[in-house]
Structure 1
Amino acid sequence: MKRLAAALSLSAFLVSPWLLRSQETPRIVEQNGRHALLVDGKPYLILGGQINNSSSWPGTMKDVWPTIEGMHANTVEAPVYWEQMEPRPGQFDFSLVDMLVNQAREHHVHLILLWFGTWKNGEMHYVPEWVKTDSVRYPRMIDERGQPIQVLSANSQANLDADRKAFVALTHHLHDLDGQQHTVLMIQVENESGAIGAVRDHSPAAEKEFEGQVPKELLAGLHHSPGTWTQVFGHDADETFQAYSQARYINEVAKAGKAELPIPMYCNVWVRYPKGYVIRGYQEPGFDYPSGGPVQTMIDLWKIEAPSIDVLAPDVYSNDREFQKELLSTYARPDNPLLVPETGLGNDFAPGFFYALGKGAIGFSPFGTDQTAWTLHPGQLPEAHAENFALVAPLDRVLARLNYEGKLQTAVEQEGRPEETLTFGRWQAKVGFGFPQRDGEQHAPGTKDNGGRVLVAQLGPDEFLVTGIEARVTFTLASGEAGHLQILKAEEGTYDDETWQPARIWNGDQTDRGLNFRHEHFAVRIRLGTY
C-alpha cells in the first residue's frame, strides 16, 4: 500500500507543468562562429552555481537551496561520485543521482552533473576503494623516478574500461530517469583532468608508445611532419603525449555515455596562469597545473582527439581583468562554445560574468554556492554574483538569443579606465562608470572597487536593451553620421519569457543625462531616431 501511494505521488509530481515543458533534448548549436545551448528548443543562458565538492549528500543539500534561490540561479552544478555510485564492481547505487534530479525539479532549476571519476583536480581521489587498492589491475602513473603517484594511468585499458562502464551505467540511468524531462542539461566528464606529480606516464606501456611515431591523424591535424614525440614536439613532448593519451581516454568515456544519453558533455580546465601566479610553488605542467588537460596550448590537440567533448571550459580563478579577457578569448572559438563552469565566489570575480557575456558565453557559474560553512555561512550570499543574476535573470532567454545572434556587447570597468564606447553601426553607446557624474565634468569618476558593468543588446536598427550596475549609458550618433539624435521612447520594464512588459516611460531627468544604473536591477528599452 505504501508503494502504491508513493507511486501515485510520484506520478502526480512528474506531470507538473514545469516538468512537461522540457521535452526537447538539450543541444549546442553554432551559427557564424557563435554558439547557443538550446533548452526546450530555444537559447538558454546558464546562470549557475557550483556546489562544494562534498555537498551532493542528503544532509547537505538543505544548505544548497537557500544560496541557489537567493542568487537567482537557474542551474545547479553538482558532483556525482564514482566511489559512492559503484562501491563494489558492477554494483551501482543511484540514490544520490535520483536525489539531485528530484530536488532540482522541486526547486524549478536545471542541473549539470559533474562526473568525479578517474580525475578530480589532477588526481584520483574519487575512484572507488576497489580501484585504489588494486594497482596491479588498475595501474597508476609512474613518474620519472619510477615511483607511482596518485593518478590513474590514461594508458591503461583496464582503467578506461572501468570508468567507461560506470559512466555508461550513470547515463543509462539518467536516460530512464530524465530522458523525457531533461532536468539535466549537460554532464561534465571528469574534473580538471590531468596529472599532478608527473608530466607524463613513465610506465612500460606508456614508454613504448612515447618512443614510437606520433600518430598520423594528430600530425595532420596539427600540421607537423612525421617523427617521434620528442622529435616533433621537443620540450613539450611529455605534456603533449600526456594530453594525447588523456584526451583519447576521456573521449571514449564521453562517446559511450552519449550513446545512452545524447546531451552536451564538456571538460572543465585547470588553466595555465601567467608567470608569477604560483599554485603549489611550481610553474611546470604536472606541478602548478595538471599535465595533459586541455589548457590553452593543448586546445587544438583536444579538439582533434576528443570530438565527443562539446566544450572545453576554463575554470577562472584569477581576478586579473586583462588575463580574464585573454583567457576567455582563447577558449571562445568557432569550434568551441565559451562556458565558465567555475570561478571565484568573491565580489571581485563578478565582473567576469559581463566579460563572458561579451564573448558569447553560454553560461557562468561561481564555485562554492552552498551554506555549509566551507565557503558561505548560513544566510550568506555571494553578493556581487547574486546581483548579476538578479539583474539578468528576467532577461535570460532574450539575452541568450541576442548573444547567439551577435547583437550583445558589454563593458566592464577597469582600473584607470572609467569610460568605454560600444559601437552598433551608426549608433554608439558611451559608458561612464561611477557616480556622481555632474554636468560640466569631463570624465566619469569610476567606482572604488572597479565594479561597474553594462550590457547593451541591439533589438532592431534603432532600438536597444540596456542594463547595468554603477554606470551611465549615453547614446550618440557615430562620427560621420548625418542628422541629430533624439530619443523616441525609453521604457523601463522586464520580460515575461520573451514578451516585453513595460513598467513606465522614462523622460526628463531620467533620460536627459543618459540612462543611469546603480543597484536597482531594472532594464530599459530605448528607441532612437534623428531629425
Structure 2
Amino acid sequence: MKNLPRIVRTAGGFSFLINEEPFIMLAAEAHNSACTSRHYMQNVWKRAKELNCNTVLAPVYWELIEPQEHHFEFDSVSQLLSDARSHSMKLVLLWFGSWKNGHSTYVPNWIKTDLERFPRTEDESGVKTRTLSMFRSDLLTAELNSFTNFMKFLKESDLDSQTVIAVQVENEVGILGAARDFSPGAAEEYRKDVPRALIEHIEKAGTSFLSEAADIYKSASDKSWANIFRRNADEAFMCWNYSLHINRLVKSGKACYALFMFTNAWLKESDDEKPGVYPCGGPVPEMLDIWKCGAPDLDALSPDLYTFSFEKAAGLYTRSDNPLFIAETRRDKWAPANLYGAVGTYHALCYSPFGAESIGEDKSFITQIMHTNPDDKNVSSKTVKEYLSMSYRLLGNSMPLIAGCYGSDKMIGFIQNDGCMTKQIRLGRYLISLEFYHPINDVDEFIPGAGLAIQQSENELIFLGYGYRANIETADPGRQLDFLSLEKGTFDKDTGCIRYMHLNGDEQRIQMEEKPTILKASYYEF
C-alpha cells in the first residue's frame, strides 16, 4: 500500500509529500455554503481549473453529515470526492463542526435545541451567546463520535485514490462578543490551577510574551488562571481548553486515518484589538505556544491572512515547530503577489485565496469578506484572475525545482511594498537589487510586482515572477559579474531545464515581463 500524503521535517523546515514527491498546494477555497449544492459546485471546479489550481479547499458540515444523532449521511462528501477526481483536483476538507468564526452555527439541530446537554457560553453579564460551551457539556463526546465516523468514511472511500490530502479541524475557533466563557462550568474551571505541563512548555519555548506567567507560577501560592496569566488570563484559558478539545478530535481522527490535520486562526486587525472582538481562544500568534502544548497532534496552526502586513504575519507562523499553511487569504490584487512571498520566503505548504468562484468577478474583496467600505478599490478583477492563473501555472510547472528548495537557503521571495519602488535582497553570494516598474495604485488592472529567486547551482540563478528588473552583483569585494548565458521560457519538469529562448546583446538582462515568466541566468566572475 502506498504511503498517505504526509508532512516530513527537513534539515531546515518542512515538506509535504504525495506519492513520496514534494507537493505545494496551489489552491483556492470555496465559499462557505458552496458544497451544499453539487450544481453550484460546478462553478468552483470550473474556476479552479481556469486558475490552474491543483487543490480545492471545501467545507463539510456536521449539521448535514449527522442530521439525527448517530445517523450519518455522507452523500455530500461522496459527491465532493467524485467531482474532485473527475477534475483532477486534490481536496482539503474543512470540518465545520462545533465552532466556525466564533459561533456554533454548523452543529446539528439536535445539538442546538438541547441546552441541557449542550449549554451555551455566557458573557460577563450572564447572557447566553451563539457559541457552544466546552464545560459541563456533552459536546466533545458528540463531536468525537461524528468526526471519527467522518474520518472512517474517508478511509473507506478514498484510501486508494487519496484525493483528500488534508483536513482542517473547526474553522476560526473562539468566542466572539466576550473575553471568555463566563458560564458556571467555565467559571469553575477558571478558578482551578494552571496545569504545570503548560507552564513547563512555556518555559521551554522561551516566548517572551508568555514568559511572565512562568515566572509568576514559580512562587505563587494561587496558581489560578487569573493570577498566573494576569491580563492575558481570559485568552490563555480559552486557548488551552479549545486546544485540548481539538486535539482529542485530531488524535481520534488520525487513529482511523492519519491525514495531515490543522486548524486556522482569525487574526486580530490591530495589536490593541481585544479578545472577543476577534474570536478569543484561537491560535493567534501570541498564543501559539499554548496551542502547541494543548494540541500536539495538530500538524500545523494556520493563519487566515487578510492583513495588509502579509509578510509579518506569515513570518510569525513560520517556525521550527510549525510550517506555514495558508488556508485563507485575500483574493484581490495582492493574491498573485503574496503567493511569491509565501512560497519563496516562507516555504508555504498551501496558498489558498478565499472564495474560489468569485476570483475575477470584479467585486470588492473587502466589502464582501470584511463588510466594510463599499467604495473599497481592492476588487478581485479579471486581471487578478489572469495573474494568479499564470502564476499558478508557472509555479506548478516549476514545482520540482521550487519544492526542492524548501527548508534550504537557496530560494527567496519578494513582494513590492506600498510606497516602495526598490528592494535589496541577498541570495548566497549574490547581492540582488530589485526595481519595480509601477507604483502601487488602485487601478483594477494593476498587480503589485513580485517574484522569487533560486540559486540552482554555484553560478546559476533562476528568476520567476513579473513587474520587476534585477541587477546582480557578487558579494566578493573587487570582483565583477557577467553573463555566461540567459534563457527565457518555461521549466521542463522532465529535464529540469528552461526552454524557449536564448537571450543576448541588449536583451541580456534580468528584466521580467509585465506578466509572470521565468528566466535562468548563468554567471562568471572576473
TM-score range, shorter chain: 0.7 to 0.9
> Aligned partners of 1:497, 1:88: CA distance in 2, in Å?
50
- C-alpha displacement of 1:419: 1.6
Q: Does the 8 Å CA contact 1:340/1:364 hold for their aligned counterparts?
A: yes
Counterpart amino acid of 2:24?
A: L
The structure 2 residue matched to 1:313, chosen from 298, 302, 320, is: 302
User: What is aligned with 2:374?
Assistant: none
- C-alpha displacement of 1:450: 6.9
> Aligned partners of 2:465, 2:392: CA distance in 1, in Å?
11
- Aligned-partner SS, 1:382: helix
> Aligned partners of 1:119, 1:173: CA distance in 2, in Å?
22
> Aligned partners of 1:464, 1:378: CA distance in 2, in Å?
32
Change (3 A) 1:429 1:59: same
Counterpart amino acid of 2:233?
A: A
The structure 1 residue matched to 2:323, chosen from 337, 340, 343, is: 337
Q: Does the 8 Å CA contact 2:119/2:137 hold for their aligned counterparts?
A: no
User: What is aligned with 2:355?
Assistant: 368
- C-alpha displacement of 1:498: 5.1
User: What is aligned with 2:239?
Assistant: 243
Change (3 A) 1:498 1:381: same
- C-alpha displacement of 1:32: 3.4
> Aligned partners of 1:519, 1:181: CA distance in 2, in Å?
39
**CA offsets, 1:159-217, max 9 Å, x none?**
01111111111110101111132111110000000111222222222211111111110
The structure 2 residue matched to 1:39, chosen from 2, 5, 18, is: 18
User: What is aligned with 1:303?
Assistant: 292
The structure 2 residue matched to 1:526, chosen from 512, 521, 525, is: 521
- Aligned-partner SS, 1:38: strand
The structure 1 residue matched to 2:506, chosen from 505, 509, 524, is: 509
User: What is aligned with 2:201?
Assistant: 221
2:197 maps to 1:202: no
- Aligned-partner SS, 2:456: strand
User: What is aligned with 1:9?
Assistant: none
Q: Does the 8 Å CA contact 1:143/1:201 hold for their aligned counterparts?
A: yes
User: What is aligned with 2:372?
Assistant: none
Q: Does the 8 Å CA contact 2:332/2:381 hold for their aligned counterparts?
A: no
User: What is aligned with 1:175?
Assistant: 155
Q: Does the 8 Å CA contact 1:48/1:76 hold for their aligned counterparts?
A: yes
2:432 maps to 1:429: yes
**CA offsets, 1:457-479, max 9 Å, x none?**
11111112211111112322225
2:39 maps to 1:59: yes
- Aligned-partner SS, 2:31: coil
- C-alpha displacement of 1:509: 2.5
User: What is aligned with 1:497?
Assistant: 493
> Aligned partners of 2:184, 2:125: CA distance in 1, in Å?
13
Change (3 A) 1:156 1:457: farther
> Aligned partners of 2:136, 2:469: CA distance in 1, in Å?
58
**CA offsets, 1:471-530, max 9 Å, x none?**
1123222251x543221122223234353342221212321xx22212343312221112
User: What is aligned with 2:413?
Assistant: 410
User: What is aligned with 1:327?
Assistant: 313
Q: Does the 8 Å CA contact 2:333/2:447 hold for their aligned counterparts?
A: no
> Aligned partners of 2:187, 2:142: CA distance in 1, in Å?
23
Q: Does the 8 Å CA contact 1:345/1:385 hold for their aligned counterparts?
A: no
- Aligned-partner SS, 1:391: helix
User: What is aligned with 1:116?
Assistant: 96
Q: Does the 8 Å CA contact 1:115/1:191 hold for their aligned counterparts?
A: yes
Q: Does the 8 Å CA contact 1:414/1:450 hold for their aligned counterparts?
A: no
Deviates more, 1:204-213 or 1:360-369: 204-213
Change (3 A) 1:204 1:498: farther
- C-alpha displacement of 1:230: 1.0
Q: Does the 8 Å CA contact 1:33/1:333 hold for their aligned counterparts?
A: no
> Aligned partners of 1:346, 1:371: CA distance in 2, in Å?
10
Q: Does the 8 Å CA contact 1:472/1:515 hold for their aligned counterparts?
A: yes
> Aligned partners of 2:488, 2:225: CA distance in 1, in Å?
60
> Aligned partners of 1:82, 1:272: CA distance in 2, in Å?
27
> Aligned partners of 1:126, 1:477: CA distance in 2, in Å?
57
- C-alpha displacement of 1:447: 5.4
Counterpart amino acid of 1:285?
A: P
- Aligned-partner SS, 1:154: coil
Counterpart amino acid of 1:51?
A: A
- C-alpha displacement of 1:143: 1.8
> Aligned partners of 2:418, 2:177: CA distance in 1, in Å?
38
> Aligned partners of 1:298, 1:380: CA distance in 2, in Å?
37
User: What is aligned with 1:25?
Assistant: 4
> Aligned partners of 2:200, 2:266: CA distance in 1, in Å?
27
> Aligned partners of 1:299, 1:316: CA distance in 2, in Å?
16
Q: Does the 8 Å CA contact 2:167/2:260 hold for their aligned counterparts?
A: yes
Change (3 A) 1:470 1:230: same
User: What is aligned with 1:78?
Assistant: 58
Q: Does the 8 Å CA contact 1:63/1:378 hold for their aligned counterparts?
A: no
Number of residues of Structure 1 aligned to a counterpart in Structure 2: 487
Gaps of 5+ in 2: 204-213, 369-378
Q: Does the 8 Å CA contact 1:362/1:400 hold for their aligned counterparts?
A: no
Counterpart amino acid of 1:424?
A: L
Q: Does the 8 Å CA contact 1:45/1:397 hold for their aligned counterparts?
A: no
> Aligned partners of 1:378, 1:486: CA distance in 2, in Å?
40
Deviates more, 1:58-67 or 1:332-341: 58-67
Matches within 5 A, 1:268-307: 268-275=264-271, 283-286=273-276, 288-307=277-296
User: What is aligned with 1:232?
Assistant: 228
- Aligned-partner SS, 1:350: helix
- C-alpha displacement of 1:428: 2.2
User: What is aligned with 1:354?
Assistant: 340
Counterpart amino acid of 2:115?
A: S
Change (3 A) 1:183 1:349: same
2:476 maps to 1:475: no
Q: Does the 8 Å CA contact 1:371/1:380 hold for their aligned counterparts?
A: no
TM-score (norm 2): 0.88
> Aligned partners of 2:135, 2:466: CA distance in 1, in Å?
50
Taking only aligned residues, the RMSD between alpha carbons, in angstroms, comes to 2.2
Q: Does the 8 Å CA contact 1:251/1:305 hold for their aligned counterparts?
A: yes
Counterpart amino acid of 2:39?
A: G
- Aligned-partner SS, 1:164: helix
> Aligned partners of 1:23, 1:49: CA distance in 2, in Å?
27
> Aligned partners of 1:156, 1:310: CA distance in 2, in Å?
29
